[in-house]
Amino acid sequence: MSLGRKLKYGMVGGGPDAFIGGVHRIAAAIDGQTELVAGAFSSDPRKSRQQGEVLFLDPSRVYGSYEEMAQKEAALPEGERIDFVSIVTPNHMHFPVARTFIEAGFNVICDKPMTRTVEEAEELVRLVKKHDVVFALTHNYTGYPMVKQARALVKDGKIGTIRKVVVEYPQGWLATPQDAAGQKQAAWRTDPARAGVSSCVGDIGSHAENLARYITGLEMESILADMTTFVEGRRLEDDANLLVQYKGGARGVLWASQVAVGEENHLVIRIYGETGRLEWDQEDPNYLWFQVDGEPLQKWTRGSDYVGPDAAAHSRIPSGHPEGYLEGFANIYRNACAAMAAKITGETADPSRDFPTVEDGAIGVHFIHKAVESGQRRAWIDASYSPPA
Amino acid sequence: MSLGRKLKYGMVGGGPDAFIGGVHRIAAAIDGQTELVAGAFSSDPRKSRQQGEVLFLDPSRVYGSYEEMAQKEAALPEGERIDFVSIVTPNHMHFPVARTFIEAGFNVICDKPMTRTVEEAEELVRLVKKHDVVFALTHNYTGYPMVKQARALVKDGKIGTIRKVVVEYPQGWLATPQDAAGQKQAAWRTDPARAGVSSCVGDIGSHAENLARYITGLEMESILADMTTFVEGRRLEDDANLLVQYKGGARGVLWASQVAVGEENHLVIRIYGETGRLEWDQEDPNYLWFQVDGEPLQKWTRGSDYVGPDAAAHSRIPSGHPEGYLEGFANIYRNACAAMAAKITGETADPSRDFPTVEDGAIGVHFIHKAVESGQRRAWIDASYSPPA
Amino acid sequence: MSLGRKLKYGMVGGGPDAFIGGVHRIAAAIDGQTELVAGAFSSDPRKSRQQGEVLFLDPSRVYGSYEEMAQKEAALPEGERIDFVSIVTPNHMHFPVARTFIEAGFNVICDKPMTRTVEEAEELVRLVKKHDVVFALTHNYTGYPMVKQARALVKDGKIGTIRKVVVEYPQGWLATPQDAAGQKQAAWRTDPARAGVSSCVGDIGSHAENLARYITGLEMESILADMTTFVEGRRLEDDANLLVQYKGGARGVLWASQVAVGEENHLVIRIYGETGRLEWDQEDPNYLWFQVDGEPLQKWTRGSDYVGPDAAAHSRIPSGHPEGYLEGFANIYRNACAAMAAKITGETADPSRDFPTVEDGAIGVHFIHKAVESGQRRAWIDASYSPPA
Amino acid sequence: MSLGRKLKYGMVGGGPDAFIGGVHRIAAAIDGQTELVAGAFSSDPRKSRQQGEVLFLDPSRVYGSYEEMAQKEAALPEGERIDFVSIVTPNHMHFPVARTFIEAGFNVICDKPMTRTVEEAEELVRLVKKHDVVFALTHNYTGYPMVKQARALVKDGKIGTIRKVVVEYPQGWLATPQDAAGQKQAAWRTDPARAGVSSCVGDIGSHAENLARYITGLEMESILADMTTFVEGRRLEDDANLLVQYKGGARGVLWASQVAVGEENHLVIRIYGETGRLEWDQEDPNYLWFQVDGEPLQKWTRGSDYVGPDAAAHSRIPSGHPEGYLEGFANIYRNACAAMAAKITGETADPSRDFPTVEDGAIGVHFIHKAVESGQRRAWIDASYSPPA
């Protein structure tokens, strides 16, 4: 990237009580390639101002609404106005905010799931194409170096044709009715108006889907979902078990839970091929377990000489010096920023510096809806996705 | 047990090439409470004799057939004749051999799955009742001390009402067509004539079912199974993924595989209740992970002062001195032998010295058939079991 | 911190080939509280300029030498000039650079070990006091939240009087003569002129000493060291085993190695008290193992509700979202910056936001020299440290 | 072994309250190759009789003293009298009992440490040679299959010339004054009259010494020991830290503790060579960690196709079916029995079926005394062992 300056960005959402806004800001800061210069941090202007002060922003660029922000930033001269916007609101705002900024010509980094409906998702796909902007979705788990290594090993045929994928994502933080008790993070995630049709699959099952697809390249053919709401009074499911039949014959188990007491953020994927297997655990992310049939299990470690170029390029410090969630998240930012910088300078972005795209987002939203449908029908259903013509 | 002598037993199956016969013999020997005195080790009389020699048996008690053995042993005076028979043949022989010995009045320790059909299973239930013999099925994994501890914690309400059970049993030894290549263990397990209607669920999925039921006490209401045969030419499924709905509302994921490359015997169960969770891994069996919501995860260790009486009674050596598969298996033998001794002396057996019964066997065989049926119908089906009147 | 602006800093060292400079820059950036505005990145002015460009610095503040930087920055108006300097050079430059900036009235964040000699170390102690500046030494491992939790548990008496401390720090990267082969990181660390009297104890053993002292509060009384150079031609030891007798009767084992093939950065500490124990592993830093005698081992996890205020205050994201080396390192920066901001605003810094001080640095350098002395004399020697009057 | 019958044995010690006697009996029983026929289980004849009954022994062969047992058994006809004696008494009785049985021409399996003094140990070496009997010492940890695999990898040069050995053996059961409280196992182990000159090094440190020597083949040149008694009133040390310099230049750390609260039986060895490393943990004994410099860490698993013949020959069940302490212990019995059977039949015993010998015992006792001496002198001392001419 020879842009010669930091990329400027603004944030929508991420006010004082939010969790994911802070994560995005750290992810953006880690590599010293971005500068936060604007924000509409809350629908409450006082809170937005407060947050702007905490972040040392020029008050003239702390806005009362995202519409105002899009309009006023677009009016600033190039080089001064933001290069991209980070959208870190609850789900229901992703679409209107993203549409507004895309239509104003801004690049977008958006939290997941992308939208509440498939229609909105496909509308964003069209808009991104039409306005030729960079759009990155923060399915952050694909930013981990050893996830990239897993993908490379699959691509290189090191485990043979895949037979079985087991991906699980248990959390326990919603085991009690925190949402009813007013915990903010819990409240919106279980509110259909803000979260969409699903809580558990929408919030975390979609990460599992994205991770499995990223590593294996497999596309779902049919799914069977069992969706359960365990906590009384909750309006969306807090537990989901799915069986998957992939195109080409592989089989899958995908389960997620928000009521798995004691579990924290335990996204784990295991992939069994004809000649080898892989296992990766988000809570121990610096390692990838790889085994060839008949040989000892191997512990691959991030930063080692034997890892491939994709993992190496997404790692900042030597092996044994653990990287974590924030560094993985930062890789999504770094790659999206590289794509933006390349767009500005007219260069071609390095395709190995990938990040989840608007199309990934649409597949994810489609998956969420199919899971809900299968759960309601108690039957196997077609889950294949065809993008609109 | 005040019987004042070792229990004498004979073995059917367990010839020179068998795996599980040797396991049963060690399990029987560990506590010094039994003596192997007779056998029909193979349908090939030469092999049977050979095995008898290796085991230092009196040649007059090494028989050419199980029928001969049952008849001649029954004719020996009490105290000299066998107290019980161990049946360690391929599945299809369990029923005829068990029936023969039960009808001759002998106690039985039988390998699993109990029979090939539900009808046979229920016939054994009737016969055991009618002839009033002790019948133990070697679902050996319930013999592990920390499995008993898990059961005790559930019973004591330490994790609250159970919401979710995830039990998995991956193996990788059938990832390649070893059966076609003539490997004996593989060949019979994938042969419908000898194994029954199922390979993967029959051989290992049934252990998972038994383990989950033993610890949780939950009964299945409905299941949905996806059964796959990955290795070309194999006649029974080598992979199975199931969703379970338990009576009372708990949900389950149960999967097993014989083609999970690199996996050895990786039976793992995780149980999430309203207020706590448990996890146990057969490959690391001396530990039980227990967590109460909001508190740190605890590593309970076999042989510790804080484990309850059930775990303590099934443990032989102090914590830190690992016990394994054979000791767990030996607990099934020890408990079954205690029941037999109690029967002989007219005492009441200690109910905490439990072992899988003929009724457990019938439930297991029913489960296997329901899994096959659901897989064929690609639908949720009723999987509840009602014993015949 | 109500300073209302980011702290400005400059860097000495940290040129294109350096490792630790990049770490310091990320650590400084993570919390959005600092801004890199100046640097003397290399003794080669061309390399310094290059690095300045990569970091988007104003070329007028990229200096050819640290002396120039100290002088010119001091001449800038307050608010524009740097608030502190980060010193990330090889060891031999720590002292002259630190002295220069301290004497010019700047706060300092300095890499470890602090100096090559005890005399230099004690001179820095005097200068820091005299010029009343903030001085932080990046013994970064004490920045990890679960290290702070360990310290709190010890202080709260949760493991009773400490009996035994086992701290080990194996690395394997110098198992072959990389230094002779010209690898830059290896070359200076094994060069007495640049590293000082010790390689293994200086570079990593000193971290182990600092970590043990931070958590336990114990002071060394006597040590016995066995120092070995395994790689032929190397001029400093690459392996060190020490026994420790602490004041008050506790005993210790402290070993470090740079030739432990396969090991990465495996700093582990285990502490046994009269009533409990603790274990922490730098390669799995989000967890702390804690056990009370007679109770199950507990896995404490960063970000949980039950961790104390010190760990909580040094954690950025929820449990299950792993933090790593960079976040721990960033805690040293954040706390040192808080102390600097407090100094500027005239507030009192929060003492729980601690960081390794110049006095810690002097104790560390003293320890390194005592280890070398004991190794040479092959005897127990007095290792207690008394600061100069 | 074509002996055609089980080996008969008697036991000295192993009464109702003993721990290790039961372990020996299980170890002897597992493979169905031995038969317990005689015993002097306690110096209290009533307890000895009681134990005989529990074990279903012929009362005429339950003796009131070991002298009586040796005499009367020797008088029985060959084939009826015992083939060997198992000595499982407290340490101080090992020597007189062993001497008595050896002089009566019996083979011996003896618990460790072999004797209380070096003189006694060397006397046993002479007697074993003179009477040409088989003598096995139950340093049982070398019976584990993956320990044998480790040894094979070292022998085959897979980790290169060894540079460093770290072996540790923490236990926590003596953290409180259980000995003073009358706990029988604790009482004799800390009583100089029964245990000898050392508690911690004698009981467990000697296992660590034996394990390290078995795997590496290294001989000690010098040691430095720090021996501590933490529990007030205890008469022998309960904690020991040693540094080791091996012949040829390798270095070692060997530490053991009986007051490491929470630890169970945590014998761990790590070996670093010029080109690779090994790690084995007794509490997770089915796995061996092996790494070649620059390659991923490998988890070798007992029972796999890739393990060598020595590990394979000492394994009974497939990988994934955990074996434990008792099976490892049983390997010592099986191999010693094979040597005895070979002696009876005049065959040559297979040297790969090894077991710790009387010479190993003498080296161990010598090591214990040298540790005590170094601790007292607070100095490096010569620890090399030369057997008497």
Alpha-carbon span B196 to B117, nearest angstrom: 7
Helix (H, G, I), strand (E, B) or coil at D245: strand
Q: According to the model, what pLDDT value does residue C168 have?
A: 98
Chain A contact present for B268, CB below 8 A: no
How many residue pairs from chains C and D have C-beta atoms closer than 8 A? 110
Residue D297 contacts C, CB cutoff 8 Å:
yes
Q: Which of D176, D251, D255 sits opposite C239 (nearest CB)?
A: D251
CA proximity to A329, closest of A282, A365, A362, A364: A282
pLDDT of residue D62: 98
D272 or A3: which leads in pLDDT: D272
Q: What is the pLDDT of residue C1?
A: 45
Amino acid at D237: E
For residues D222 and D247, give the distance between their C-alpha atoms in angstroms, rounded to a whole number. 8
Instruction: List the structure tokens of D229.
Output: 């008694």
Q: By percentage, how much of chain B surpasses pLDDT 90?
A: 93
For residues C23-47, one letter each, b for 16 or more C-beta atoms within 10 angstroms of the residue's C-beta and e for the rest, the string is: bbbbbbbbbbbbbbbbbbbbeeeee
Determine, for residues D261 and C245 on separate chains, whether the beta-carbon distance falls below 8 Å.
no
Cβ separation of C224 and D243 shorter than 8 Å? yes
Q: How far is CA C98 from CA C88, C120, C359, D65, in A?
A: 11, 10, 14, 78
pLDDT bracket for residue A180 (50, 70, 90)? confident
Residue B183 is predicted with a pLDDT of 83
Nearest by Cα to B264 from B325, B189, B345, B223: B325
Is pLDDT of A373 > 70? yes
* B38 has a pLDDT exceeding 60: yes
Residue C355, C-beta contacts closer than 8 angstroms, at least 6 positions apart: C136, C137, C142, C143, C331, C332, C335, C336, C339
Residues of chain B in contact with residue C304, where contact means CB-CB under 8 angstroms, are 296
Quote the pLDDT of residue C179: 77
d(C-alpha B282, C-alpha B171), whole Å: 12
Domains within chain C, CATH numbers bracketed: 7-141+332-356 (3.40.50.720), 142-309+363-382 (3.30.360.10)
Chain D CB contacts of C261 below 8 Å: 159, 272-277, 291, 293
Question: What phi, psi does C388 have (nearest 5°)?
Answer: -60, 150
Amino acid D1: pLDDT: 45
Non-local (6+) Cβ contacts of D103 within 8 A are: D127, D131
What confidence tens digit (pLDDT) does each residue in D269-315 have? 999 999 999 999 999 999 999 999 999 999 999 999 999 999 999 99
Joined together, the tokens standing for residue D78 give: 């060959």
3-state secondary structure of C154: helix
So what's the pLDDT on residue B20?
Answer: 93
Mean pLDDT on A293-308 = 97
Whether chain B has a CB inside 8 Å of the CB on C305: the answer is yes
Strand partners, C307: none
Q: What is the CA radius of gyration of chain B?
A: 21
Q: Which residue of D has its CA nearest to A304?
A: D294
CA of B295 vs chain C CAs: smallest distance (Å)? 7
Query: Average pLDDT, whole number, for chain A?
Result: 96
Residues with Cβ within 8 Å of residue B322, at least 6 apart in sequence: B286, D282, D283, D284, D285, D322, D324, D325
- CB proximity B294 to C under 8 Å: yes
**Structure confidence by residue, pLDDT tens digits, B188-221:** 888 999 989 999 999 999 999 999 999 999 999 9
Q: What is the ipTM score, two decimals?
A: 0.96
> Comparing C-alpha atoms, which of B311, B339, B373 is closest to residue B132?
B339
For A125, list phi and psi in degrees, rounded to 5.
Answer: -55, -45
Other Cβ atoms less than 10 A from the Cβ of D22: the count is 17
Task: Give the nearest chain C residue to A323 (CA atoms).
Answer: C324
**Whole-Å CA distances, D388 to A309, C194, D78, D125, D135:** 61, 52, 34, 10, 18
| Ordered alpha helix ranges (H), A76-167 | 91-103, 118-131, 145-155
Task: Please judge whether C304 and B290 are an interchain contact, meaning their C-beta atoms are less than 8 angstroms apart.
Answer: no
CB atoms near residue D118 (< 10 Å): 18
Q: Residue C231: its pLDDT value, please?
A: 96
What value does the mean pLDDT take over residues D58-65? 97
Percent of chain A, pLDDT > 70?
99
D5-31 average pLDDT score: 95
Strand partners, A242: A225, A254
Angle, helices A118-131 vs A358-377, to 10°: value is 170
The residue among C184, C23, C140, C134 whose CA lies nearest residue C88 is C23
Q: Considering CB atoms only, which of B239, B245, B277 is closest to A261?
A: B277
Region of residue D253 (phi > 0: left; psi between -120 and 50: alpha; otherwise: beta): beta
Cis before C90 (ω within 30): no
Q: What is the mean pLDDT of residues A52-71?
A: 97
Q: Do residue D259 and residue C164 have CB atoms under 8 angstroms apart?
A: yes
**C275 contact D CB<8A:** yes
Chain D residue numbers with beta carbons less than 8 Å from the beta carbon of B326 are: 30, 316-317, 323-324, 326-327
Residues of B whose CB is below 8 A from A380: 378-379
| Residue C266: per-residue pLDDT | 98
Cβ count within 10 A of residue D105: 12
User: Beta-carbon neighbour count of residue C309 at 10 Å?
Assistant: 11
Contacts of residue C132, Cβ cutoff 8 Å, sequence gap at least 6: none
- Check CB contact under 8 Å for C264 and A320: yes
- β-partners of residue B292 are B276
Distance CA C207, CA C204 (A): 5
Question: Tens place of pLDDT for every residue, chain C, 389 residues?
Answer: 468 999 999 999 999 888 899 999 999 999 999 999 999 999 999 999 999 999 999 999 999 999 999 999 999 998 899 999 999 999 999 999 999 999 999 999 999 999 999 999 999 999 999 999 999 999 999 999 999 999 999 999 999 999 999 999 999 999 999 877 878 888 888 899 998 999 999 999 999 999 999 999 999 999 999 999 999 999 999 999 999 999 999 999 999 999 999 999 999 999 999 999 999 999 999 999 999 999 999 999 999 999 999 999 999 999 999 999 999 999 999 999 999 999 999 999 999 999 999 999 999 999 999 999 999 999 999 999 999 87
Q: What is the CA radius of gyration of chain C?
A: 21
| Cα C53 to Cα C42: distance, rounded to the nearest angstrom | 13
Query: pLDDT at position C180, please?
Result: 78
Mean pLDDT value across chain D = 96
Interface with chain B: mutation pick from A162, A251, A254, highest number of B CBs within 10 Å: A251
Residue D61 contacts by C-beta under 8 Å, 6 or more apart in sequence?
D10, D37, D38, D39, D52, D72, D73
Q: Are residues A263 and C327, on separate chains, in Cβ contact within 8 Å?
A: no
Q: Using CB atoms, list chains with 3+ pairs below 8 Å to chain D.
A: A, B, C
Phi-psi region of C233 (alpha: psi -120 to 50; beta: other; left: phi over 0): left
Average pLDDT over residues A238-242: 98
Q: How close are the terminal C-alpha atoms of chain A, in Å?
A: 34
Nearest CB among D26, D283, D326 relative to B320 is that of D283
Residue D218: other Cβ atoms inside 10 A:
19
D9 inside 8 A of chain B by CB: no
Of the listed ranges B8-22, B100-114, B287-301, C272-286, the least confidently predicted one is: B8-22
Asked if D296 and A305 come within 8 Å (Cβ–Cβ), the reply is no
Please report residues of C whose CB lies closer than 8 A to that of A56.
4-6, 32
- D192 contacts chain B (CB < 8 A): no
Q: What is the mean pLDDT of chain B?
A: 96
Query: pLDDT tens-digit profile of B330-350?
Result: 999 999 999 999 999 999 999
pLDDT average, residue stretch D213-220: 98
Q: Say how many CB pairs under 8 Å bridge A and B.
A: 110
Query: Mean of the pLDDT values across residues D210-239?
Result: 97
The three-state DSSP-derived secondary structure of C209-222 is: HHHHHHHHCCCEEE
Q: Do A64 and A90 touch, CB atoms closer than 8 A? A: no
**pLDDT at residue D320 is higher than 90:** yes
Within an 8 Å CB–CB cutoff, is residue B248 touching chain A?
A: no
Q: What is the pLDDT of residues D335-377, one digit of tens each?
A: 999 999 999 999 999 999 999 999 999 999 999 999 999 999 9
Dist CA D360 CA D114 (whole Å): 9
End-to-end CA distance of chain C: 34
Whole-angstrom Cα distance, residue D207 to residue C115? 43
* Cβ <8 Å between B261 and A277: yes
C-alpha to C-alpha distance for C74 and C101, rounded to whole angstroms: 9
To which H or E segment does residue C239 belong?
A: strand C239-246
Q: Do D322 and B23 touch (CB under 8 A)?
A: no
pLDDT digits (tens, 9 = 90+) for D107-161: 999 999 999 999 999 999 999 999 999 999 999 999 999 999 999 999 999 999 9
The whole-angstrom separation of Cα C143 and Cα C327 is 8
Query: Two tokens at B119?
Result: 């009808």
The β-bridge relationship of strands D7-13 and D84-88 is parallel
Separate counts of helices (H) and strands (E) for chain A:
13, 14
Please state, in angstroms and as integers, the Cα–Cα distance from residue A60 to each residue in A65, A66, B283, C389, D168, following that order.
Answer: 13, 14, 62, 55, 64
Which A residues 143-182 touch C at CB under 8 Å?
171
**Predicted pLDDT of residue B223:** 98
Nearest to D253 among C230, C253, C272 (CB): C253
Judge whether residue B184 has pLDDT over 90.
no
Distance from the Cα of A352 to chain D's closest Cα (Å) equals: 24
Interface of B with A in 68-107 (CB under 8 A): none
Residue contacts between A and C (CB atoms, under 8 Å): 116
Whether C305 and B294 lie within 8 Å, measured CB to CB: yes
Beta-bridge mates of residue A169 = A256
Strands D297-301 and A297-301: antiparallel
Q: Is the CB of residue B19 less than 8 Å away from at least one CB of chain D?
A: yes
Q: Please, are residues C231 and C259 in contact by the beta-carbon 8 Å criterion?
A: yes
Would you say residue B354 has pLDDT above 50?
yes
State the average pLDDT over residues A131-151. 98
